[in-house]
Amino acid sequence: MAGRGLLVLALLAPALLCSCDRNPLYGRLGADYFPVTTLDSEWEYSLGQGGSLVVSVVDQVVMGEKTAFKVQTGAGFSFWTGENGELLHYEDHSVIFNGFEVALYRGWLPYLRWPLAVGNCWSDSVVSWATSQEGVTISHDWVRKTSVLGLGSSSGYDDCYHVYQQERTIDWIQSAGFSPETTIVNRHMWLAPDVGMVFKSTADSTLTLTSYEPGP
């Protein structure tokens, strides 16, 4: 009987492996939904207000004591790395006081957690910081909350995760004439397997992917 059972398993093994290959969940678990850690990858987006935006992975550098990938978005740059099942983003927070930029926080914070799954949510990207400048205390409270809202198609891509993020910032220059200033940014992103962001919308802009060239 034992030999017969082994024979049945041997006969079924190829079919099981094929079924895994066809299983959408299996494919999603092995996909990269934010592939910013491959040099020379490039995305081009159309802007809802007209024009286009090019995003490219241009270099590998050391940032904040971590090996990171430098991503150019238009004329700006951001830094990303992966660690312990998370995509980390290097945050650089500052305010303008008396015409000068005052650095408040610089460091790595989680941006996405892998694997993505509908219903997951987290808010572990939190900064609460205060500094003194010319005898005046400047406080900065910031939090990013992320939720995976759904799974579907977007911009011609299937198996996309719909990710919602809210970033809330409260800056307060604690001096006469100033009151706390609160800024809230709501961001909806659709992420496609092994492509990354194919659509993003905020209150004042939209991005739609028009082309993607993965790095070698």
Q: What pLDDT, on a 0 to 100 scale, did the predictor assign at position 113?
A: 95
What CATH number belongs to 32-213? 2.40.360
Read off φ and ψ for residue 15, nearest 5 degrees.
Answer: -65, -40
Q: What pLDDT, on a 0 to 100 scale, did the predictor assign at position 192?
A: 98
198 CB neighbour count, 10 Å cutoff: 22
Q: What pLDDT, on a 0 to 100 scale, did the predictor assign at position 15?
A: 44
Widest CA span in the chain: 86
Query: Splitting the chain (216 residues) into consecutive groups of 10 residues, what average pLDDT does each group show?
Result: 44 44 68 95 96 98 96 97 95 86 90 95 86 88 96 96 96 84 96 98 96 95
Q: What pLDDT, on a 0 to 100 scale, did the predictor assign at position 78?
A: 97
Q: What pLDDT, on a 0 to 100 scale, did the predictor assign at position 124?
A: 74
Answer yes or no: are the C-beta atoms of 66 and 81 closer than 8 Å.
yes
Query: From the centroid of its chain, how far is CA 72?
Result: 14
Q: What pLDDT, on a 0 to 100 scale, did the predictor assign at position 150?
A: 97
Q: What pLDDT, on a 0 to 100 scale, did the predictor assign at position 24?
A: 63
Read off φ and ψ for residue 115, nearest 5 degrees.
Answer: -80, 155
Within the chain, where are the H helices? 2-22, 24-29
Residues of the chain with CATH 2.40.360: 32-213
Q: What pLDDT, on a 0 to 100 scale, did the predictor assign at position 18?
A: 45
Read off φ and ψ for residue 135, nearest 5 degrees.
Answer: 80, 5
